[in-house]
Amino acid sequence: MGQDSNRKSKKISKSRIPRKFRWDIVSLYKSGKEWQKDCSKLEELLNRLSELKYRFTEESGLFLEVLQLKDEILQLAQRIYTYAHMCKDEDNSNNLYQSFFYQASSLSVKAEKSLSFIEPAILSLDYNQLKKWLQDKKELQVYERCLEKIYRKKEHTLTAEEEKIIAQTGDMAYMFEYSFELLSYADLSFPKIKDEGGRIVPITQSNFSTLLRDKNREVRKRAFKSYYKVYQKHRNIYAALLAGNIKKDQFYSSTRKYNNSLEAALFSEKIPREVYTGLLDFVHKKINLLHKYTQLKRDYLGLDQLHMYDMYAPLAEGTSKIDYPEAQNMVLESFKPLGDTYSAIVREAFRERWIDVYETKGKTSGAYSTGSYGSKPFILMNYQGTLEDVYTLAHELGHSVHSYLTNKSQPFIYSTISIFLAEIASTTNEVLLTYYLLDKAKNKREKIVILNHFLEQFRTTFFRQVMFAELELLIHQAQERGEAITADFLCQKYADLNHFYYGKDVIIDKEIHLEWARIPHFFYRYYVYQYATGFALAIALGQRILKEGVPVATKYIDFLKKGSFDYPLSVLENIDINPVSSDYLDDALNQFNSLLEQFQNL
């Protein structure tokens, strides 16, 4: 480990970052001019598709041609969009990149609209005729599972003309999320505060979480209050954007004849409703474990009261900065139980520049994994040198290796990874990293830091995401009843949930009532619950890999290759996991309690 971490966040120009720490975006396109050529090529493919629109169900040859053309269109659109959003996320203030992103988004909507006739036309075919084509034409057989999934959606698929109208709304519907991103990452300006040494530190979206981990309580408090003061000024526009997005979800679900938005969100992956509602019910019954953790944290910190700005406070003095090359080595060592194949892919990720490492001016905050079929995966980070950043690196590598193995093993049509499964891949890496770090800890203080970090992962990735999922359900249900989704409504509901989840020993500061406004995931319909289920499932899986070794690791690598060929619950059966049962939740929270006891004993 290096010198004590400097909490100041200096947004520098991308050109000053060494090439080896920037993602290899030119492997997608060498220039904007080359990207524009593919945009033109996409238009040509769409024109070819329109020529086949009214004839492709007449005979198997044309039917195959349209399905293959659909794959080519979607793969190219994915590549075009990936490049555009990566450019934008490098610098949200760059007008050229914004225009790329807008053009790519419009092209994606145009492609969806042009392709919208295919599923209704397939559903108009006699199923016995389709089965005969599949038997007679070998090249069609790769589409058999895909066609089965289309027929499953028959009652929720509209006529060709109606599907075309729905597809045309895509660009408009995305504007809620896009406006949220522009407001949050390009337009918002945060104040500066003084750190412990009297230095002036600008608050940014990226360094806010680092400031909340500052060992000095006054620094945490100043950052917390100053940050949310900005959101207070924009609370009404954030509420309007979120309400509009919820109405969008309701429109699509009712138009497609679902009972509600939750049913619509779960249907495509064949997830039973009880997986969602059972998660909320189970956590309600076990919420005393989270209260136990916050009490232990309050006592350890020697505080009479634990405020929300204390929640991320470090539990040991002198946490040092972890240089990025050291972080790379740490994750590689922790991944050894997964075998040589996995480690080789991670080394390739570092060598082939999958990762954009450091924060730069205008860059989107946070971290994510992205990519397109046929190209390398990419990871956006805003590395600050904290232990949290090392975990983020391990987490995003989990996503990227998952994509890499799926793309190598599946044809394009089955290369999509369900979010329900994706979070297992990322969190399993975090479990392995935790136990590696605990094993290598040199003293009691380091063990406390690591244990606290993993307990915090339980709090933030499990309990907090369940709280988000509960809020999301409450908002959708209120909208379905015709209630107004205002800033006051959202603040009150969020305050009530915080009181329940954190208990009487935590002061729910008024600023935290606004936290809903900064969460982008509320714009992704019923997305967040999968963080909690994925985390809990990964806890059980990580323990098995560490205890049972190669047999489980081999099954796990095979799991990472499955893509969307089968439904998530069927894929999980192959590694002996059943999310409909609450056993996996019991296992996860038993592990949480065990870690709490270790923490208490230390």
- Residue 437 in contact with residue 588, Cβ under 8 Å? no
For residues 196 and 214, give the distance between their C-alpha atoms in angstroms, rounded to a whole number. 9
Catalytic annotation, pick one of 112, 181, 388, 396: 396
The amino acid that residue 40 corresponds to is S
439-443: which pairs have CB atoms within 8 A and are 24 or more residues apart? none
Answer yes or no: are the C-beta atoms of 357 and 416 closer than 8 Å: no
Spatial contact of 420 and 562, defined as CB atoms under 8 Å apart: no
Known catalytic residue: 34? no
Residue 305 is given by DSSP the state: S
Q: How many CA atoms are closer than 13 Å to the CA of 145, on its beta-carbon side?
A: 10
Query: Using an 8 Å Cβ cutoff, are 470 and 478 in contact?
Result: no
What letter does residue 320 receive in the DSSP assignment?
A: B
Region label for 371, one of left (φ > 0), alpha (ψ between -120 and 50) or beta (otherwise): left
Task: Give how far Cα 314 sits from Cα of 1, 449, 451, 593, Å.
Answer: 17, 7, 11, 20
In whole angstroms, give the CA distance from residue 364 to residue 171.
Answer: 21
**Cβ neighbour number for residue 490 with a 10 Å cutoff:** 25
For helices 387-409 and 444-457, angle between their N-to-C axes, nearest 10 degrees: 50
Query: DSSP string covering 168-208, please?
Result: HTHHHHHHHHHHHHHIIIII----EEE-TTS-EEE--TTTH
d(CA 363, CA 354): 17
CA distances from 131 to 55, 124, 136 (A): 19, 14, 9
What's the longest Cα–Cα distance across the chain? 77
| Long-range CB contacts for residues 219-224, cutoff 8 Å, separation at least 24 | 219/7, 219/193, 219/194, 219/195, 220/309, 220/310, 220/312, 220/313, 221/307, 221/309, 222/193, 222/194, 223/193, 223/309, 224/308, 224/309, 224/509, 224/511
DSSP class per residue in 546-584 = HHH-HHHHHHHHHHTT-TTSS-HHHHHHTTT--TTSSHH
Closest C-alpha to 452, from 321, 324, 304, 296:
296
- Are the CB atoms for 427 and 534 separated by under 8 Å? yes
Nearest 5°: CA angle at 399, between 458 and 102? 110
> What distance in Å separates the CA atoms of residue 87 and residue 102, rounded to the nearest whole number?
12
368, β-bridge pairs:
380
> What are the residue numbers of the active site?
396
